[in-house]
Structure 1
Amino acid sequence: MVLGGGLIYISLEVLIAVGCCLGNLLVMWAVWRSGALNQTTFCLIVSLAMADFLVGAVAVPLAVVVDVHVKIPFHACLFICCVLIVPQQASVLTLLAIAVDRCLRVCIPFRYKTTVTKKRSWIIAALCWILASILGFLPMFGWYNHDTLTNNNSTSIDCDFVAVIPDSYLVHFLFEGCFLPLLAVMITLYCYIFFKIRRQSRGRAGVAAETGAYTRKEHKLASSLVLVLALFIVCWLPLHVKHNITYYNQNIHVPSIAVYFGILLSHSNSMVNPVVYAFKIPKIKQEYRKIWRKGIGQQQQADINTPASNTTDSHDGRIHVRISPQVEVNGII
């Protein structure tokens, strides 16, 4: 990489990492403060925020290490590259779990709370992370570039993602075997959810105001989560397309600037999700406002502006009585 371009890339990565960490910490704090953790969907949203936080705290720094081609042992480089894959897999699996959760909410509204409990939602979130770790660390069990290891005279190499992770794993397994099928399932689920909500709203038109409010609430939350899914696709698809181009037609040279743009775009996805939550999900939006007001001191200012109660003080042996204008005292007003 050219020195100037490398500095720009690293600077952008640092900004994205800071945004990922601060934004997703704020999401987790807001969900916890609002008490929304008692709702199963928000347990999964916290799991997704944790994956996005790890992108900024772990994946981006390791990606920079890989980008500067540090000379380290082959298997250490392979381990680092596998760590980079895990948050993405955790994100796509958690998005699938959220889609299934929303589908159950709409399809079995009366049995939903007994079927999808808080404990079960945390178990599902943990299973998503376990499965993501297994999928991400598969190259450690032999699915790596053996040619890179055998062509070097020593066990140490200039660490590079494409030097240790084979395109067959990225294309056939991650993209064609995991990304596309799960994406198809999620799109199908959300199409069914919106179809179900629309049919319910037509069938229950004029029945009760509460029913209409419930339908609007479910539609709004589903729309917000679809936006999160759409951003995930837009941010990750260019990098997957690049891997497919280089795998199926090795004569085509993808410019370095396009590769780094794809990497930055995929990392930025973890930074924009908290912004979507802030504008689209009411519970998190309200908590953001409370945190903001407290941060700028509006709460303290409100306390100062509260009318003072009746107080007495002494000075030079005399007693002075302060009476608030809003307080009525017998014999005075």
Structure 2
Amino acid sequence: SGPASTSLSHHLLLLTMSTPDEAELCYPHLGNSSCRRIVRSHSVSVLLHIILSSISVLTVTLNLLVIISISHFRKLHTPTNFLLLSLAVSDFSVGFVWVFLILLIDGCWFLGAGWCVFNTVFCYVATSASVGTVVLISVDRYVAVCDPMHYQTKVTKNRAKICIVLCWAGSTLFHCLRKIYNIENSGEFDSCTGECVIYVHPVSRIMNIVLSFIIPISIIVVLYVRVFMVAVSQAQAMRSHVTVVTLQSSLNVNRSELKAARALGVVVVVFLMCLTPFYLVLLTTGLGVKSASSYIFVVGLVFFNSLLNPVIYVFLYPWFRKCVKCVFSLQILKSGSSEANIL
């Protein structure tokens, strides 16, 4: 892929691109120094705008409902739900990246080199923060299922909040340092006016794959395999009607946690399915494998995951459905509504 790598949104732009025989200039008054605009029929252009706009609106709206629900209702203020809140903020942010994609739909970047770098860094920070949050969710479920007697003391609201802040701060610092050259020299690698290209050092790319993919995914898989093993052993114990008092009390503690682990397990599995292909393509690209169609598909999966998460909540969490009803019926505006037993 060479030293220069376009932003996530620019890769996904390839999905909407055609290869016309004739193309207009993004900046006609600049002549040959301007990038070329993608020319397509009016009907195709309208269809693409409708599809991308719909995805953006749905992603932003659904994740905003999650953010409002968990933030407003005190009964939902648990360490696990705070982690879901962090994931929703990340997905909400990704929803705005679709807006930039709509601006790029004709192959021209009109917002300047500075906004190009900001858009790229913002997208990577949101993605890394979501990876870190899923790691924290896995740790939360591991402690809840494998050490239920000490869960309340080990996993507290304050510790969850601190971990979330560190996750976002670490992601922001890491990607700002990765893109520090682009931040200081924005637009240097654009081959024409109207392009959005950033420089990615090979070492930086390897660090990103290791720190944002290999290590986090390894932790997630190991922890959830352990949770799955404990869940299986618990199920076998319940089927064999174990009546030992200590084990029975442990089973009572674990039952609700296991149910939560299964629900969050769906979120984790879908997340891994959507994110893993992207990093695998980045890895193969670094080894010299080039495929625009691969970027189209995997970046689309990463973006689409942000829409899938709140949809999963609709089916798996009764409290989220109740919250949505409260929001749309405006009951959330009534005094004392935050104390409602939404569970």
TM range (shorter): 0.7 to 0.9
Paired amino acid for 1:59? V
Mapped contact 1:246–1:254 kept (Cα < 8 A) = no
The counterpart of 1:174, out of the listed 208, 216, 222, is 208
The counterpart of 1:236, out of the listed 264, 270, 275, is 275
Mapped contact 1:73–1:157 kept (Cα < 8 A) = no
Change (3 A) 1:115 1:253: closer
Cα deviation, 1:67-92, whole Å, max 9, x if unaligned, reads 53315544442222111111100100
Larger radius of gyration: 1
Q: TM-score, normalised by structure 2?
A: 0.71
Mapped contact 2:274–2:305 kept (Cα < 8 A) = yes
Matches within 5 A, 1:1-333: 1-2=17-18, 3=40, 8-32=47-71, 34-56=73-95, 58-66=96-104, 68-71=107-110, 73-142=112-181, 149=188, 157-160=193-196, 163-166=197-200, 168=202, 171-200=205-234, 202=236, 205-207=242-244, 211-250=250-289, 252-255=290-293, 258-281=294-317, 285-289=318-322, 291-292=324-325
Aligned-residue offset at 1:244: 3.1
In the comparison of the two structures, how many residue pairs are matched? 285
Q: Return 229-238 or 113-122, whichever deviates more.
A: 229-238
Q: Return 202-211 or 21-30, whichever deviates more.
A: 202-211
Tell me the equivalent position of 1:331.
Answer: none
Change (3 A) 1:64 1:38: same
Structure 1 gaps of 5+ residues are: 298-333
Paired amino acid for 1:118? K
Mapped contact 1:34–1:287 kept (Cα < 8 A) = no
Cα deviation, 1:238-277, whole Å, max 9, x if unaligned, reads 3333333433225x4433xx53333332211111111211
Cα deviation, 1:267-296, whole Å, max 9, x if unaligned, reads 111111112112223xxx234146438858
Paired amino acid for 2:131? V
Q: TM-score, normalised by structure 1?
A: 0.73
Change (3 A) 1:288 1:171: same
Change (3 A) 1:65 1:293: closer
Tell me the equivalent position of 2:25.
Answer: none
Tell me the equivalent position of 1:314.
Answer: none
Mapped contact 1:59–1:84 kept (Cα < 8 A) = yes
* Separation of aligned partners in 1, 2:319 and 2:189: 57
Change (3 A) 1:293 1:49: closer
Is the partner of 1:164 in helix, strand or coil? strand
Aligned-residue offset at 1:8: 4.5
Is the partner of 2:278 in helix, strand or coil? helix
Aligned-residue sequence identity (percent) comes to 24
